[in-house]
Amino acid sequence: MASIGQTAALELVRIAMPKNSEGTLDTPYDQYALPLDTQPMEAKSATELPSESNWQFEPKWDGFRCLVFRDESNVDLRAKSGKPLGRYFPEVVTFFRNIDADAFVIDGELVIEIEGHLAFDALQMRLHPAESRIRRLSAETPARFVMFDILATPSGKIVVEKPLSERRRLLEQFAKSLRSPKEIRLSPITFDRDLAKKWLEDSGPNGTDGVVAKRLDVSYLPGERAMRKVKRLRTADCVVGGFRYESDSNKVGSLLLGLFNKAGKLDHVGFTSTISDEQRPALTKQLERLRAPPGFTGKAPGGSSRWSTERSREWEPLKPELVVEVRFDHVTGQRFRHGTKIVRWRPDKRPDQCTFEQILP
């Protein structure tokens, strides 16, 4: 039985669906089967995979979440934010336009694979205003689409209210009809928790991003966190090469982390801001006593980019003496993609022992 929140989410979809003069659902081919602002079903973070028997497990792909809308010759790719992605991935639009179908809506992930590894930074390079560059990259490093759910079938029939077990069957039928393993693939699934745990252990840098668990008896719930995601978290010992003050404060806000490269230079690899208010005063005094340029002798933080601001370029360099162990979830371009979490300080560890070997695949 659906919860109040589930019922409300489905009702929003019903309201947005096109209706005929009698007020019943209709899906004319001059409109998409579902509105373009339909939100994907999301997942909440968990530390363990569920142990009950009514769950389906699949890899968490390291790419851009995407809903594909097709109606006759019209194809629209939408990011989780609702923004259009078709301009940046013309090869994917072309592939879905050439499918022999009337109308469908597919949920999945855009990925780019380079030398056998998923390359998230290659996806980010597509988000560029120059069409000529997008065209070149789409030929050099073509994106693929990994399907893991279906919201409307190739005939335009809306299936969001069907349970996942039925939607998966329909998705497998759709995938079988495509016969195109290079451009599109069906995400593997398992009902075996032990195999899912093995997938979780194998996830990490340049691979999948963890495991997603989905209830087999649940409808597709747009915008709701009705799934669970479990990531493999790893740790690394890093040198504190600098820090930033809190905004409008004289206390430390974040630590800038570094690892030594093969040339012996300290490269900036990320940050952590998981410092408790109780720790800030004493830690600030300790850091200020260690202030000394250059801090990072290799790649430094605050480099010029379209994302940087004057505030983001302000940082205090430190002598490379402090070592901290941090927990991270993923690495992109030899940097922690997200902020990290402090596990413990490592006074027993020499700074020169903090190298990139810790975070390589």
pLDDT digit string (tens) for 39-71? Answer: 999 999 888 999 999 999 999 998 899 999 999
DSSP SS3 for 328: strand
Identify the pLDDT of residue 180.
Answer: 67
Q: How many CB atoms lie within 10 A of CB 308?
A: 12
Identify the pLDDT of residue 204.
Answer: 63
Percent of the chain clearing pLDDT 70 (strictly above)? 86
Rounded to 5 degrees, what angle do the CA atoms 72, 78, 80 make? 150
Q: How far is CA 162 from CA 34, 226, 227, 331, in A?
A: 15, 15, 16, 37
Domains of the chain: 4-230 (3.30.470.30), 234-359 (2.40.50.140)
Question: Which residue in this structure is represented by tokens 């259009």?
Answer: 84
Identify the pLDDT of residue 207.
Answer: 62
Q: Which residues of the chain have pLDDT under 50?
A: 1-30, 303-312
Quick one: which of 327, 335, 81, 52 has its CA closest to 217?
52
What is the per-residue DSSP string for 87-112?
Answer: GG-HHHHHHHHTSS-SEEEEEEEEE-
Identify the pLDDT of residue 209.
Answer: 79
- Which DSSP category does 136 fall into? H
Identify the pLDDT of residue 234.
Answer: 81
Residue 145 structure tokens: 């689409």
Residue 316 structure tokens: 């205090």
Evaluate whether 350 touches 340 at the Cβ level (below 8 Å): no
Residues 178 and 107: their CA atoms lie apart, in Å, by: 16
Torsion of CA 312, 360, 212, 122, to 10 degrees: 60
Q: How far is CA 208 from the centre of its chain?
A: 10
List the catalytic residues: 60
Identify the pLDDT of residue 121.
Answer: 82
